[in-house]
Amino acid sequence: MRTMVTGGAGFIGSTLVDRLLAEGHEVDVVDDLSSGSLANLAEARAAGGRALTIHQLDIRLPDTEDLIVRRRPAVIFHLAAQIDVRVSVDQPVLDADVNILGTLRVLEGARRAGTDRVVFAASGGTLYGEVDPVDLPVRESHPTRPLSPYGVSKKAVIDYLAAYREMHALEYCALALGNVYGPRQDPHGEAGVVAIFAAALVEGRPVTVFGDGEQTRDYVYVDDAVDAFARAATRGGGLVCNVGTGQETSVNDLYRTMAAVAGVDAEPVRAPARPGELRRSALDAGRAAIQLGWRPWTSLADGTAAVIEHTRRRLATPAPRRRPPARRAASPGAG
């Protein structure tokens, strides 16, 4: 099958590319490399041969539509996005430009190319807003109340997908992802608390936890998330499906789990809570189980151990820095 992965040089996208190539699909990657990198595609380039083509391109450009029409992918996995909630608060126009208008370029290309289906990386951590604890883990039937421009732009795309299905018979599946973690996640960003913890623990630096550390998230391992994408290529049409474990994990528990794996017994440094963060989050993935046949199978201990191992290897062979390191934040991010 001919596939396209927007954001395919990113953390989740590149892991999906590896999976699609392993299954024998042809893959076109579209990525402007703004936060992703070709290094993430090194294994794919070695293994993929002519099945992999990389296009360095901004999805906001008209060229994106033309490329899709030329390449005619049967399935587009749409992951390219402005992913930072804080950037979306500071620059909501930029967020909407990439996440809404850029997506419309992709959808217009898909419509013109006769693409069968778009599988979209939606955000389970922001879609539902602050959920009453009695409703956790949250189901897809829960009202959607995103509290950030990022959450709004991701929700808007789901509405566009439903409209394109009606208007143009373009099938879709929107995966409402929990906090995805795993190797290749950027430890310099704001969202990837597992990557940030791993880098600090391996380098022997102190980890700062904001607030009381009892804020919870649903952490899902990247290979499990990618498995949901692969399944959604043929199943779950016209649906939003949560992709999470249903388990709430606090930042304190996450730190304890990872510190034990890394062999560190130091306590984290405490800092004042950051305003605007969700208190609790967990996703009920019952629909994904029924509709996609999907279940998470990686425990937090195994998944975080894989990240720490990956971080050790990465730091043993230093790569050139893509950008100056940002403040190591230990807030859990949005998901």
Residues that bind ligand NAD in the complex, under the rule CB under 6 A: 7, 9-13, 31-36, 58-60, 79-83, 98, 102, 121, 123, 177, 179-180, 335
Residue closer to ligand NAD, measured from CB, 59 or 264: 59
- Closest contact distance (angstroms) between CB of 51 and ligand NAD is 20
Shorter beta-carbon distance to ligand NAD: residue 6 or 115:
6
Give residues with Cβ within 8 angstroms of 127, minimum separation 6: 144, 146, 151, 154, 155, 158, 176, 240
**Torsions phi, psi of 39, nearest 5?**
-60, -35
> What is the identity of the amino acid at 154?
K
Query: In the bound complex, what is the minimum distance in angstroms from residue 263's beta carbon to ligand NAD?
Result: 26
**Smallest distance, Å, CB 241 to ligand NAD?**
13
Q: Yes or no: say if 75 and 115 are a contact pair by the CB < 8 Å rule.
A: yes
Other C-beta atoms lying within 10 Å of the C-beta of residue 287:
20
Kindly calculate the radius of gyration of the chain based on its CA atoms and give it in whole angstroms. 19
Question: DSSP letters along 171-240, please?
Answer: EEEEEEE-EEE-TT--TTSSS-HHHHHHHHHHHT---EEETTS--EE-EEEHHHHHHHHHHHTTS-TTEE
Q: Is the dihedral of CA 57, 58, 61, 62 positive or negative?
A: positive
CB of 266 to ligand NAD, least distance (A): 26
**Cα separation, 293 vs 226, whole angstroms:** 13
What is the nearest approach in angstroms of ligand NAD to the Cβ of residue 42?
A: 14
Ramachandran area for residue 246 (φ above 0: left; ψ -120 to 50: alpha; else beta): left
Assess contact for 131 and 138: CB atoms under 8 A.
yes
What is the DSSP annotation of 75-93? EEEE------HHHHHH-HH
Q: How far apart are CA 175 and CA 228, in angstroms?
A: 8
Shortest Cβ 46–ligand NAD spacing (Å): 19
Q: Which of these is catalytic: 150, 164, 219, 221?
A: 150
Tell me if residue 150 is catalytic. Answer: yes
Annotated catalytic residues are 150
